[in-house]
Structure 1
């Protein structure tokens, strides 16, 4: 049985963590290695972008900052509010998938009309303006990256669909 499961794990790259969790094979060393691999991928992507002339967005969750870059040139850094511990902002490398000047955002525990300057980067995760709070610098969102409305407009006008978004701790 172990041989069949290990073969299955090799075939299902990306689901190994799920299988190990499901069957209680996971160790803290395995989880730590997975996190290091993810951090290495993010670091490599940042290094690649810095060697280019591309526009890209960096979101630093530990600092609650969004930085707009052109290659290795830092254009500006803004204070954001990202996901609270119960609804964290995902980390990884993404791209702006779609842009909307305004839209309704809803989910468990929230239903907000007229959210300004939305840039979706992964599923329901987005960078957008927030007119309903002034707690920037503190994680308070349901997973999105909140900016002051005027700053969200600035990023929205600067970025385009396809702009890389790097979110890390």
Structure 2
């Protein structure tokens, strides 16, 4: 290997790790993390576009609505507790429902407001049954205060990217 290539690769890796750290993504220098790489690449693509997209930060319990590289809305959320975690990944909003009934092991909640499903039964939705935002308490969904969920519901459309990361 040439020393120029090694310098270039080292500089690229350092720059990428710095960018990930600034974006709030865990920047662990490993090549065995394809999901983290996919998340980082997609976030960089979206930040250099004009597209609307949603970032869910599991570590800080924050949701940020973006238009390209500009933050347009930020809220404190509640994601999945340890026993029912919120999955990390790159998703898109598949369907939207003004209200929906959500059922699972140990819960059955009718009239859940402003549900936006992004993967199977996982959704970003309003939560009127608790006020513990900032703390992971859900069964894997992204809980948002109802007034914020309404804003997000009106702003996002089917197909809006949702990036969930540490």
TM-score past 0.5 threshold: yes
* Consecutive unaligned residues in structure 2, runs of 5 or more: 1-29
Residue number in structure 2 paired with 1:11:
none
Indicate the residue corresponding to 1:66 in structure 2: 63
How high is the TM-score relative to the length of structure 2?
A: 0.81
Alignment of 1:47-126 (within 5 A): 47-126=44-123
C-alpha deviation, 1:76, in angstroms? 1.5
Count of residues in correspondence between the two structures: 137
The aligned residue for residue 129 of structure 1 is 126
Q: Deviation of residue 33 (structure 1)?
A: 5.1
Structure 1, unpaired ranges of 5+:
1-31
The residue matched to 1:81 in structure 2 has which SS? coil
RMSD after superposition: 0.9
Q: Are 2:46 and 1:46 equivalent residues in the alignment? A: no
- Which portions of structure 1, spanning 4 or more consecutive aligned residues, are displaced by more than 4 angstroms? none
Report the equivalent of 1:18: none
1-structure distance, mates of 2:108, 2:90: 27
SS at match of 1:111: strand
TM-score (norm 1): 0.80
Residue 143 (structure 2) aligns with: 146
- In structure 2, the residue matched to 1:167 is 164
Deviation at 1:49, TM superposition (A): 0.3
State the shift of 1:81 in Å.
0.1
Q: CA deviation at 1:37?
A: 1.4
Q: Render the CA deviation track for 1:60-111: whole Å, top value 9, x for unaligned.
A: 0000000000000111210000000000000000000000000100000100
Q: What residue in structure 2 maps to residue 156 of structure 1? A: 153
